[in-house]
Amino acid sequence: MSDIYLKNYWLLNLDYINIFSELKHHNIPLPLLSNFYQYLDEDIKNKMKDDNFYKQLSIEQIAEKQLQLEFEKIISAFQSKIKRKNKDGTILLNSDYLRFSVSNFTHFHPNQTKILTRSKKPELYGLPTVCAPDYINKSPNNANVYIEKAKEIFLRFNKHPLLSNTFFQKKLLSDLPIMIEKLNMAHFIFKEQDISGVVVGTTEDITSRALTFLSGSEGIPSLCLQHGAIMGEEAYFPVFATKQVVYGKYEEAWYLQKGVSESQIEILGHPRYDEIFDRVYMDKKNLFNKLNIDPSTKVVFIATQPFKTLFYTELTEKLVKEKNITVIIKPHPWEKGRNLVGEYIKLSNLYPNVKYITNEVNMYDVILHANLVVISNSTVGLEAMLLDIPVVVYKSLLEERDYKYYDTLDWLVNHSMEDVTSTIKKVLHDPLQSNLAKELRKKFINENYPQEACTKRLINLIQGEKE
């Protein structure tokens, strides 16, 4: 079902872009700035699960391998054919969604780097800033013109499955002023600042897209980082930047499959993980004292995901029946932010060998001193393997989408409570199984994160693109 939905998703996205492409600002078609999956309500999503949905659109079916090319046809209309060479210019880091640690920023030279931020401070992390609000009102926001044009298009396409949808209409009309604002901001930044390269943490948001598109129209190279494991392709595709920086071979193959050229993909990792290799860790004794853990027990660290509370609580109760196992539960930030952690706290109050943590200690300290990590579709699995800790993956067969990122871990990927519990106990208590798990971990890392520190390589890449 998800294959049909995704096929229709990209066709609908392209149909929307084509229909609204007459709405241009600084020569950029405004629909390109839309984070499209935010424009779809449950009604339209359900319709998109129908194999024949595409027949209601004014666009032909497109092979997966052609998808990137279809977007590039639209982008090529405003992209500069001449690459601007300016080795003395500044690298602009868009601080939103960059996910850099303080130490990541220290690798960048203050004479060659600026941080785009909402802050009025003249510098952050030792680097000069470009204050985004200073560039927003340099020209009037004429969004009303585009809003009226959009309303006319709604009337012309009142039978279209998406354009006739009220939720979609409200969302687009509310986004149009933001699109104009961000394009104006990017235009004046490139006009007034000597920028020779742009780094964004994602191209999901309007600001990052505005920067990426307008840098392209100026012949300025851009790099987009991979902001997490690809668990929902709408957030990672298409590629809009000059280079898409990825973790490893899995993502490279995924982008190639969608028609992205090899020259656009750079296997480099992400600076946020440099801390794993660089930091000084808390020693085991201090950590166990702080969390009141019995040092004679085996430690299982569970990084939860939203909507799987019942699974994690049942698993924890099964594991702690063995007195020689301590379970540490760390909730997903989404759960904590919505106060959906009551069941985990209840378990930690009920069992002395269940520990509920949030930010009391650094997660990497906990992982390093754990014997095993349990995840479902989280980058914590990657982080644990970078720390040489075995990972057991729970992958429900009831999920609408099949995320294959961890599939090469073979028997460490399980589909039922019984199998997860059995695999955990094998890895914890059977030295042979533990060694086999380590071999699978080694193979996974060699393919999917074949590097350690990446920040300096990132700087070299953007410097190379400038020259």
**Can you tell me the mean pLDDT for 156-179?**
96
Q: Does residue 265 sit in the same domain as residue 286?
A: no
pTM: 0.93
With 60 as the cut, is the pLDDT of residue 1 above it? no
**Which residue range is the domain that position 49 belongs to?**
2-269+455-466
With 70 as the cut, is the pLDDT of residue 466 above it? no
Q: What is the pLDDT of residue 262?
A: 96
CB 285 within 8 A of CB 295: yes
Q: Does residue 222 sit in the same domain as residue 366?
A: no
Read out DSSP for 297-339? SEEEEEE--TT-HHHHHHHHHHHTTSTTEEEEEE--HHHHHTT
Q: Does residue 239 sit in the same domain as residue 295?
A: no
Pairing type for strands 195-200 and 222-224 reads parallel
Q: Looking at this protein, which amino acid is placed at residue 417? A: M
Cα-based torsion angle of the residue sequence 147, 152, 156, 159 in order, rounded to the nearest 10 degrees: 50
Q: Does residue 324 sit in the same domain as residue 442?
A: yes
With 60 as the cut, is the pLDDT of residue 264 above it? yes
What is the distance between the alpha carbons of residues 439 and 443, in angstroms, rounded to a whole number? 6
Q: Does residue 362 sit in the same domain as residue 397?
A: yes
For the domain that residue 132 is a member of, what is the CATH number? 3.40.50
Pairing type for strands 298-303 and 372-375 reads parallel
Q: pLDDT grade, residue 401 (50/70/90)?
A: confident
Q: Does residue 157 sit in the same domain as residue 197?
A: yes
pLDDT in tens, 204-218: 999 999 999 999 999
Q: What is the pLDDT of residue 400?
A: 80
Q: Does residue 252 sit in the same domain as residue 299?
A: no
With 80 as the cut, is the pLDDT of residue 467 above it? no
* Average pLDDT over the chain, rounded to an integer: 92
What is the distance between the alpha carbons of residues 454 and 436, in angstroms, rounded to a whole number? 29
pLDDT in tens, 64-119: 999 999 999 999 998 877 676 667 789 999 999 999 999 999 999 999 999 999 99
199 bridge partner residues:
93, 223
Q: Does residue 324 sit in the same domain as residue 367?
A: yes
Please state the separation of Cα 13 from the chain's center in Å: 20
Q: Does residue 24 sit in the same domain as residue 96?
A: yes
Q: Does residue 293 sit in the same domain as residue 250?
A: no
With 60 as the cut, is the pLDDT of residue 460 above it? yes
Question: What are 18's two structure tokens?
Answer: 């084509």
For the domain that residue 427 is a member of, what is the CATH number? 3.40.50.2000
Backbone angles phi, psi at 200, to 5 degrees: -120, 150
Q: Does residue 335 sit in the same domain as residue 190?
A: no
When divided into structural domains, the chain yields a total of 2
Q: What is the pLDDT of residue 222?
A: 95
Q: What's the residue count for the chain?
A: 467
pLDDT in tens, 16-48: 999 999 999 999 999 999 999 999 999 999 999
Q: What is the pLDDT of residue 253?
A: 96
Q: Does residue 311 sit in the same domain as residue 216?
A: no
Q: What is the pLDDT of residue 140?
A: 80
What is the distance between the alpha carbons of residues 450 and 380, in angstroms, rounded to a whole number? 17
Please state the separation of Cα 312 from the chain's center in Å: 24
Looking at the chain, the whole-number percentage of residues with pLDDT higher than 90 is 80
What is the distance between the alpha carbons of residues 138 and 187, in angstroms, rounded to a whole number? 10
